[in-house]
A = this chain, B = another copy of it.
Amino acid sequence: MTLPRARGTAGSHPRLTREEIVRVALRTLERDGLEQITLRRLAEELGVTAAAVSWHVRSKDELVDAIVQASLRTLRPPQPESGEWTGRLRELHTWFRASLLERRHLVFTPAFRRALPYAFVPVELAGTRILREAGVAEGDAEGASRLLHWHTIAVALNEAGAAHAPPPGRTPRPVLDGAIESLTAADFASFIERLPEMLDTDPDRTFAFGLDCLLRGLQRRLLIARSSRGTRARRPSKR
Question: Which residues of A approach B to under 8 Å, CB–CB?
Answer: 65, 68-69, 72-73, 75-77, 79, 108, 110-111, 113-122, 124-126, 128-129, 142-144, 146-147, 150-151, 153-155, 157-158, 161-162, 165, 171-172, 174-176, 178-184, 186-187, 190-191, 194, 197-199, 201, 206, 209-210, 212-221
- Cross-chain contact A69 with B174 (CB below 8 angstroms): yes
Do residues A176 and B118 form an inter-chain contact, with CB atoms below 8 A? yes
Is B154 within 8 A of A122, CB to CB?
no
Is B217 touching A125 in the complex (CB atoms < 8 A)?
no
Give how many copies assemble into the complex.
2
Could you jot down 22 A-B contacts, CB within 8 Å?
Answer: A72-B179, A73-B181, A75-B178, A75-B182, A110-B165, A113-B161, A113-B165, A115-B175, A117-B199, A119-B175, A120-B179, A122-B179, A122-B182, A147-B213, A150-B151, A212-B217, A214-B214, A216-B220, A216-B221, A217-B220, A219-B220, A220-B220
A176: B residues at CB distance < 8 A: 118-119, 121
Tell whether, in the assembled complex, residue A158 and residue B153 are in contact, meaning their CB atoms are under 8 Å apart: yes
Dominant secondary structure of chain A at its interface with chain B: helix
A172 CB → nearest B CB, Å: 5
- Which of A129, A183, A213 has its CB near the most chain B CB atoms (within 10 A)? A213
CA distance A124 to B197 in the complex (A): 13
Q: Which residues of B contact A122 (CB under 8 A)?
A: 179, 182-183, 187
Q: What is the minimal beta-carbon distance from A182 to any residue of chain B, in angstroms? A: 5
A24 to chain B, nearest CB (A): 19
